[in-house]
Amino acid sequence: MIETYLTSGLLAYLLGSVPTAVWVGKAFYGVDVRNEGSKNAGATNTFRVLGKKPGIIVLVIDILKGVIAVLLPLFIFSLQSDSLLYGNIKVLCGIMAVVGHIFPVFAGFNGGKGVATSLGVVIGISPPAAAICITLFLIVFIASQFVSLGAIIASIAFPLTIIFVLKEDNQILIVFSVVLAIAVILAHRKNITRLLAGNENKMNLFKKKS
C-alpha cells in the first residue's frame, strides 16, 4: 500500500511539473514567459504575453494535468472508484500535481501559481464542486476583469461547497479543500495587495493582442 501512495504521488508530481507555459513560449515564440509580464509561468501570463491562442493551449493542458493526475491511480492500480484508498490517494495526487506545477523539476522549480492545475484537480475529485467554482470564477472575472479576484473567490468557494453544499464526510478531502484554498490565496498575496491598492492588472480575453 505504501508503494501505491509513493508511486502515485511521484507520478502526479512529475505530471504537474510539465511547465506548459515555459515550453510553449520557448518552442513557438522564443520567449520565456517568466521573464515577461507578471513573470509567472501560468496561463494568465501566457494570455497577457503571447496572446489568446497560446494562452488557451496552456490553460487547457494545465487543467488536464490536474485531472489526469487525480484519475491516473484509478487505472494504473485498478482501484475501486468508491474505495477509501482511492479517495485518499486522489487527494495526495492532487496535492502533488499542484506542488509540481508551482515547483516544477523540469523548469528549475520556478513555475506558476497552480490555479489552472488546481481547477483540474477539483474537476477530477468533485465535478459538482468544480462546476460551482467555475461558475463563480466566470461571474467575478467577467464582472471585474480581474483573473486574480475570480481565482481567489473560486478557491474560497471550494471548501465551502465541499462542506456545506455537498456535505462531504471525508475528513481528508475537507482538509485538502481548505489547504488548497489557503494555498491559492497565499499564491495571490501580491495580487491582493494590488487589488486593495486599486492597481491590479485587468484582462480582457475578448480583446485581440496588439
Q: How much is the average pLDDT of 21-49?
A: 95
pLDDT at 81: 83
With CA atoms as reference, report the closest residue to 170 among 92, 107, 111, 103: 92
| Segment 179-205 mean pLDDT | 92
Nearest CA to 69 among 113, 149, 124? 124
Radius of gyration of the chain (CA): 17
In this prediction, residue 71 carries a pLDDT of 94
> Average pLDDT of 154-160?
97
**What is the pLDDT at residue 207?**
60
Give the model's pLDDT for residue 206.
58
Rounding to the nearest 10 degrees, give the CA dihedral for residues 101, 104, 110, 114: 0
Q: Where are the alpha helices (DSSP H) in 17-83?
A: 20-29, 43-50, 52-76
pLDDT of residue 79: 84
What pLDDT is recorded for position 155? 96
DSSP H or E run through 151: helix 147-160
**CA-to-CA dists, residue 59 to 17, 56, 150, angstroms:** 14, 5, 15
Distance in angstroms (rounded) separating the CA atoms of residues 96 and 66: 9
Report how far residue 191's alpha carbon sits from residue 112's, in angstroms, rounded to the nearest whole number. Answer: 14
Q: Is 130 exposed, middle or buried (0-12, 13-18, 19+ CB in 10 A)?
A: buried
Q: Is the pLDDT of residue 73 over 80?
A: yes
Whole-structure pTM over 0.85, yes or no?
yes
What is the rounded average pLDDT for all residues in the chain? Answer: 93
CA–CA gap between residue 95 and residue 11 (Å, rounded): 12
